[in-house]
Amino acid sequence: MIESSEEKNITVNRKAKHDYFILQTYEAGIVLVGTEVKALRQNKANLVDSYATLTNNEVWLHNANISVYEQGSINNHDPVRKRKLLLNKSEIRKLNKAVTEKGNTLIPLRFYFKDGLAKVELAVATGKRQYDKREDIAKRDLIREMQRKFK
């Protein structure tokens, strides 16, 4: 019997695909406190300008903004604290090898719930130059124009 895993997107880093070439993606769990989970269930998250680092064979997410939970008490969380990401040792080794190459970085692409657990889609990426971005925009405009003509 095959069970389907439900995925519900919380937030997507739209700027990531514009600013970076995505080389490889990984699914990572994330260590959260209770009020953070409740805020995520209300879609109160933002991944713009966030990144991940490797420190002592652990992966940490920086600058990911999970807004304060409104019904939370004095024990509410810090919205931009660094959060630990959960990956296998072999995945961490691969990430470490990929990040040590010149120009590569770790960026989160999206937050989502999978079977009730909060997950982060993490990508190994290389930054785009300005002319690469212009080239992508020109291609997108050309495709749109062709689609208009064929309608």
Indicate the pTM of the whole model.
Answer: 0.77
The pair of three-digit structure tokens given for residue 52, joined into one six-digit string: 């991940």
Mean pLDDT of 1-24: 77
Share of the chain above pLDDT 70, in %: 95
- What phi-psi label fits residue 66: left (phi over 0), alpha (psi between -120 and 50 degrees) or beta? beta
Domain membership flag for residue 21: yes
Residue pLDDT, tens place only, 94-107: 999 988 888 888 99
Q: Which of 57, 64, 44 is nearest to 108 (CA)?
A: 64
Number of domains in the chain: 1
Domain membership flag for residue 1: no
Domain membership flag for residue 45: yes
Higher pLDDT, residue 65 or 71: 65
Residue range(s) defining the domain that contains residue 132: 7-150
AA letter at 51: Y
Per-chain mean pLDDT for the chain: 85
SS3 content of the chain, % helix, strand, coil (to 5): 30, 40, 30
142: CATH? 2.40.280.10
